[in-house]
Amino acid sequence: MLSQYILVEMLIHINEGVACGHKIMGEWRFLGVRAQTDDDLWQANLWVCLAHFSAALFVIIDQSDVSVPVTTSYVAWKEINDQGHHGESCRQGNCYLAVEHAVLSALPDISLAWLLTASHVLSLTWQFIVLFEGPVQLYYHIQRKLGRNPLRWIEYALSAPLMIVVIAAILGQADVCTLALLGICTSALMAFGYLTEVHYRMRPISVPHVCGWIMFSLVWGVITFAFILGLERATTPPPPSVLAVIYPTYFIMLTFFSSFGVVQAVHLNTDMSSGKNVLIKDKGEHDPLKYNAVEMWYLILSLSSKIALSVILYFLVRTRHRLLNVEFRSV
């Protein structure tokens, strides 16, 4: 039943895309120009591309980086006797198996600056491509006519995990397996965001949207736990200059990441149809002006969050350089 449902949904979306694509191509064939609403987003995409490129270029030229060492723990089985000895003494047959937790620290450091640069490059890539007429730009307009933008969610699924790794590392998460799972869960979170747009007709309560908020809470719950644990269990509290960086990192990034969900919640509960009859929405037709406002908010949030994280990383590097004996080292 599930496979049949997915197949039916795919056919519906393909038919909607083809029908809407013919309509848009017909409009372009007779008008020969873009609609004014498209010109507004074209300029927005252009300026956002320039901003992402400038930010990425600044990080590269600045050549300042925070390389964070990562570790992971595993279960190590050992044979020991009552005196805690192992090895030669265990040949007497008086030993038993014991479980110990070992730490694997021989792992390469994570470069936060290059992760952040990659997130900027991923953001500007699709926005740069849709600036020029071609199949990608046509696909972009078709999907926006249907009230969704798969290109944005694909980019989010790739760039947001990089950002969450940078945020978690700054806030004290050093386990490489946990960082990898946080990235994977963040990609899943973006998938729920896309499914929410695809199933927009399910408003005001969308199952993918609710699942997205649950995934968001789990990801930030892990980050918050590591952040608080690092502050409370530290033998030496971090210097005030470091706290002045990591506290804003937590609250600013939490605000930005949650804002994407708020924008989508408003989108779900707003009539985006192109006419007074809300049933038009069920046919996949959206008012371009209304959906452009949603798209504009996503552009602003994506750019602002990446710029803010770049600025935070810049000040973190400068703060670390001012402190003589404060570095990110595994103990």
Residue-wise pLDDT tens digits, 85-111: 555 555 555 565 555 666 677 778 888
Q: For residues 250 and 257, what is the distance between their CA atoms, to the nearest angstrom?
A: 11
pLDDT at 258 over 90: yes
In a domain, 3, yes or no: no
In a domain? residue 330: no
Give residue 172's pLDDT.
86
Average pLDDT of the residues in 141-168: 91
| Distance separating alpha carbons of residues 70 and 163, to the nearest angstrom | 16
Residues 88 and 207 in one domain: no
Is 21 a residue whose pLDDT tops 80?
A: no
Phi and psi (nearest 5°) for 175? -80, 120
146 and 123 co-located in one domain: yes
Q: 61 vs 119, which has greater pLDDT?
A: 119
pLDDT at 159 over 90: yes
Q: Which residues does 216 contact at the CB level (< 8 Å), separation at least 6?
A: 189, 257, 258, 261
pLDDT attached to residue 151 = 92
Same domain, 265 and 227: yes
> How many other CB atoms sit within 10 Å of the CB of residue 3?
7
The confidence band for 2, taking pLDDT boundaries of 50, 70 and 90, is very low
Top pLDDT among 127 and 323 is at: 127
CB 194 within 8 A of CB 160: no
pLDDT (0 to 100) of residue 200: 65
Let me know whether 213 and 95 are in one domain. no
Do 211 and 130 lie in a common domain?
yes
In a domain, 4, yes or no: no
101 strand-pairing partners: 75
Burial class (CB in 10 A: 0-12, 13-18, 19+), 28: middle
pLDDT of residue 22: 46
Could you give the CA distance from residue 174 to residue 104 in angstroms, rounded to a whole number? 11
Residue 194 in any domain: the answer is yes
Ramachandran quadrant class, 87 (left: phi over 0; alpha: psi -120 to 50; beta: rest): left
74 vs 92, more confident: 74
For residue 273, the model assigns a pLDDT of 57
Query: Which residue is it, tokens 């929405």?
Result: 281
Q: Tell me which of 87-101, 122-136, 306-320 is least confident.
A: 87-101
Greater model confidence, 284 or 227: 227
Q: Is residue 183 part of a domain?
A: yes
More confident residue, 198 or 64: 198
Distance, CA of 113 to CA of 55 (rounded, Å)? 11
Burial of residue 11, with CB atoms counted within 10 A of its CB: 0-12 exposed, 13-18 middle, 19 or more buried: exposed
Is residue 165's pLDDT more than 90? yes
Reference 201, options 37, 24, 16; nearest CA is: 16
Identify the pLDDT of residue 129.
92
Asked whether residue 138 carries a pLDDT value surpassing 70, the answer given is yes
At residue 175, the 3 state secondary structure works out as: strand
The C-alpha torsion from 171 through 177 and 182 to 183, rounded to 10°, is 110
Question: Is pLDDT at 131 greater than 80 in this prediction?
Answer: yes
Residues 93 and 28 in one domain: no
**Region 193-201 average pLDDT:** 80
Helix, strand, coil in percent for the chain, rounding step 5? 70, 10, 20
Q: Given this model, what pLDDT does residue 290 score? A: 75
Task: Give percent above pLDDT 70 in the chain.
Answer: 67
pLDDT of residue 182: 96
**1 within domain boundaries:** no
**Residue at token pair 């040949």:** 91
CA torsion angle 277 283 284 285 (round to 10): -50
Q: Which residue has the tokens 């006419």?
A: 275
More confident residue, 49 or 68: 49
Q: What is the average per-residue pLDDT within 180-198?
A: 93
CB contact at 8 A, 246 and 224: no
Per the structure, the complete domain to which residue 189 belongs is given by 11-69+110-322
Is 63 among the domain residues?
Answer: yes
DSSP state letter for 282: G
- What does the block give as tokens for 44? 């927005």
Q: Is the pLDDT score of 79 beyond 90? A: no
Residue 314 lies in a domain: yes
Q: What is the mean predicted confidence (pLDDT) over 287-291?
A: 69
